[in-house]
Amino acid sequence: MGRKPPFTTTRVSSRTQRSGDPGSSPEPFLAGVPAWIPGLPAVARDDARVDDTSKSVGLGGCFSALRTTLRLVPVVAIVGLAGPATAQLRSGTEFLSPEMQRQQADETRNPAFFWVEQGRELFSRKPGANGQACVSCHAEPQQSLRGAATRYPQVDAASGKLLNLEGRIEQCRVERQGQPAFGYETPELLSLTAYAASLSRGLPLDVRTDGAAKPFYEAGRAMFERRQGQLNLSCAQCHDGLVGQKLRGDTISYGVGTAFPAYRLEWNDVGSLHRRLRACSLGVRATQFDYGAPEYLALELFLAARGRGLPIEAPGIRR
Amino acid sequence: MSFNARITMPAEARAGEIVEIRVLTRHPMDRGGQSDGKGGTVPRKILNRLTVTYAGEPIFRFDMHTGVSANPFVSFTTRAVATGDLLFEWREDGGATFTRTARLTVT
């Protein structure tokens, strides 16, 4: 185990947080107050030592994550969420305008269904002269794959790697169909992913975080809670602490990826969750990881576990 | 698959009834102008016109410009007069055309 955590923790009020200056000094009368005292209108703010990214993976990372969790509990209680935060998260759809919610639900107006349609075609098309179509193994996908997307990302038993839906489709294509991989973010992979995810529409997320998935989950949690980038912001600061407030022209949501692959108006296109995460990384001026990078996979698992019970809405529409 | 269309309208209508026709189109609507990496620019490639005829009569025309988003959606109404095909025709920059038909049965 790493060093003992410092006993005192500085806190800033939510007003200071909202001003967009995370580096400003804490209000003096709150400085040094232990974080677990409830009734303080604040988002937990850690000191510089916890921000040390080199500690974020492995035992030290788990430990700091645990400490941060302990500190988050009273905060969660203050914003009115009873029990664990995961139980009360709301889908990003609820942060959209009523008009966009209707557009998302209406297949005749949701452009993402073109990708679903393309995915359905690809699913039953033979990839080569003697190749096998997806449907020759996954017969009756409406039944056999219903609910499959709710269990991703998951650890592949054979390789021990964490695979999301895209990763599983690529693995099937390379190992079972003997075809070259599509590549992340190609229209074909997005279509197949959107189709596979759409088969689980309405079913609750239910990923495993125990056993082999536990280290990935912990790494994802550490990434979610770690301050990063030039803006020195963690995912949790906005997507836990400032939900419902405005960031530029948009409303901050809980950051659950149940609608992805989603049609994003900013993209005029369907994109994967990793594309969205890359946009977040850019937003806080942090390192953008590659599509399918282990960091984003772990984060994807954490987000799915955090939103456990929320229905899959892919393919959704997002701003 | 750069073009696809989803046309939503009732299959049947009574004579004289107003029917709503919704057209969602898949197209990147590339307004062009980006560098092509070789000193030139990428030419504009959008759907510039949608025309709809109903039993041979033109009923709707939509001229699109670069301000129209990718994957445009448009809805309009017409009066059901006689059983016949609605012919949708899109014209793309460069001269390509795409067509779809939908049948309206008037009872």
d(CA A43, CA A263) in angstroms, rounded, equals 32
Its sign, for the CA torsion A23, A245, A283, A40, is positive
pTM here is 0.77
For chain B, give the mean pLDDT. Answer: 94
Provide the shortest C-alpha distance from residue B1 to chain A (in Å).
8
Q: Which one is predicted more confidently, A277 or B1?
A: A277
C-beta separation of A72 from A14 below 8 A: no
Residue A31 has pLDDT above 80, yes or no: no
Task: Residue A191: count other Cβ atoms within 10 Å of its Cβ.
Answer: 26
Q: Which residue of A has its CA nearest to B29?
A: A268
Q: Tens digit of pLDDT for each residue in A68-115?
A: 444 444 444 444 443 344 447 899 999 999 999 999 999 999 999 999
pLDDT-derived band of residue A223, with 50, 70 and 90 as boundaries?
A: very high
**Residues in B touching A263 (Cβ below 8 Å):** 71
Q: What is the CATH number of domain A111-198?
A: 1.10.760.10
* CATH code for the domain of B3: 2.60.40.10
Residue A3 has pLDDT above 70, yes or no: no
Provide the shortest C-alpha distance from residue A266 to chain B (in Å).
11
Examine residue B38 and state whether it is found in any structural domain, yes or no: no
For chain A, residues classed under CATH 1.10.760.10 are: 111-198
**Is A108–B8 a contact, with Cβ atoms under 8 angstroms apart?**
yes
Whole-number pLDDT of residue A226: 95
The catalytic residue positions of A are 280
Where does B17-106 show beta strands of DSSP type E? 18-26, 47-54, 57-63, 73-79, 84-92, 97-106
ipTM at complex level: 0.90
Whole-number pLDDT of residue B1: 60
Q: Tens digit of pLDDT for each residue in A238-275?
A: 999 899 999 888 899 999 999 999 999 999 999 999 99
Which token pair is B10? 């009732």
Chain B interface, best mutation among A99, A110, A114, A263, by max B CB count within 10 A: A114
Provide the shortest C-alpha distance from residue B79 to chain A (in Å).
21
Examine residue B102 and state whether it is found in any structural domain, yes or no: yes
Chain A interface, best mutation among B8, B24, B27, B98, by max A CB count within 10 A: B24
Total structural domains within chain B: 1
**Residues in A touching B73 (Cβ below 8 Å):** 109, 111
pLDDT-derived band of residue B91, with 50, 70 and 90 as boundaries?
A: very high
Residue B74 has pLDDT above 70, yes or no: yes
Q: Which one is predicted more confidently, A71 or A234?
A: A234
d(CA A230, CA A74) in angstroms, rounded, equals 28
Q: Which residue of B has its CA nearest to A264?
A: B70
**Is A268–B28 a contact, with Cβ atoms under 8 angstroms apart?**
yes
Print the domain residue range for B21. 1-30+46-54+77-107
Q: Which residue of B has its CA nearest to A268?
A: B70
**Is B69–A108 a contact, with Cβ atoms under 8 angstroms apart?**
no
